[in-house]
Amino acid sequence: MTRLPDTSQQVADEGEEERVSRLLTGLSAMAILFLLGIGAKAWFATHTHHAFSLWFFAGLVAMNMLSFARSRNRRHQKAGMISIVGLLFGYLIITGGESNTGPLWFYVFPPLLFYLTDLKTGTAVLLFCCLLAVVVFQFPELPLVTAEYSTDFKIRFFATLTFESIFCFVLEASRLKARNELMDMARTHQHAARTDELTGLSNRRDMQHRLNEEYSRYRRSGHHFSIVLIDLDLFKRINDDYGHDAGDHVLRAFSELMQTVIRQTDVAARWGGEEFLILLPDTSLLQALTLAERLRSEVASAEFSFAGQRMPVTISAGICSIAKTGSVDELLKQADVHLYSAKEDGRNRVAPRVRTSPRETSPSGAGS
Ligand SMILES: Nc1nc2c(ncn2[C@@H]2O[C@H](COP(=O)(O)OP(=O)(O)OP(=O)(O)O)[C@@H](O)[C@H]2O)c(=O)[nH]1
């Protein structure tokens, strides 16, 4: 199979991370305003200590924002925000906040937590916070604990928080499942859009895209590349003599053989019908001719058989290097001209033929 780069998952993950990060920045700005405002209210109500504590937390959120603006590290931004919010809720439960309403802010935590972390981490952090709340509720005489809650409040607080957490967990799990299914579907479609169904090679559209990319690389950095345009000889006869299924089998078998001959960095595609194209990056015309000749010779000596019948299979190939042309279109046209001349010269050969001294053997000599 041709090696196709799978970047869709990375692109989607990157997009999601970017969205989460933007949301966090917005939430942080809102949190600062709230903390400053509620802190001011506490100040005017002469709850000076509470006011300073809230402003301190506003300062922490602002520092987290500044640190992210400088480092652009999204993991640190998330971890910082979760830690600050966890500490703030801990403080509000321990002190009761204004009129013992502090624990109510805890309801913000489960959706935020499940959105920012994975389900396992979210559940673990939430359970840890609930455990702390249980300790504070059960042991009001502990140092630093200044709030005392009624039994009714405690029961209702935990019951409602449990329901909320379960709903958040289920919703987030469904969202992730739907997202993963969509990603799988997109990957399958993307793969199908650039792959030839019969052979599993790149299809013409994908190859055209790769040719354009390689051409841009050549224009940018002068890296030469060559192409080999291949046509199976007298393929109509194989279909007529042995049947269409046998023809399909030959196309698949040839594709497999071709991939054992090319390098990891080369790309083979089914260009159409019984035509194939190989893109050879960083390859001169002579190197491409050598490879094409090796492929031609391997095909000629390979055994292609279907349903117990052996079929004669040979190929003709037209080769061209980008150094000889000025555009991808010209390159393809030139390779096609060479392929045509290989066919005209009797098939089972590669073109152009290399001019050699009388004692040297031409790579396209076989079959001539
Ligand atoms: N089995 C099968 N045959 C195909 C497929 N695609 C194209 N063909 C056949 O390939 C044959 C190509 O025949 P021609 O274009 O006449 O060329 P040729 O017989 O290969 O002769 P030369 O190219 O001159 O050597 C046609 O009969 C097409 O039907 C395919 O996917 N499967």
Ligand 1 pocket mutation, candidates 232, 235, 311, criterion most atoms within 8 A of CB: 235
303 is catalytic: no
Residue type, 52: F
Work out the average pLDDT over 202-229. 96
Query: How confident is residue 7, by pLDDT bands cut at 50, 70 and 90?
Result: low
Considering the entire predicted model, what is its pTM? 0.69
pLDDT at 357: 47
Catalytic, out of 172, 181, 256, 274 = 274
Q: What whole-number distance in Å separates Cα of residue 328 and Cα of residue 294?
A: 25
Arithmetic mean of pLDDT, 213-234: 95
Indicate if the pLDDT at residue 356 is higher than 70. no
Domain boundaries, the chain: 8-190, 204-351
CA separation for the pair 47, 116 (Å, rounded): 33
Instruction: Report the mean per-residue pLDDT for the chain.
Output: 90
At how many degrees (to 10) do helices 151-194 and 119-138 cross?
A: 170
Whether the pLDDT of residue 14 is over 90: the answer is no
Ligand 1 neighbourhood includes 198 CB (under 6 angstroms) = yes
What superfamily in CATH does domain 204-351 come from? Reverse transcriptase/Diguanylate cyclase domain (3.30.70.270)
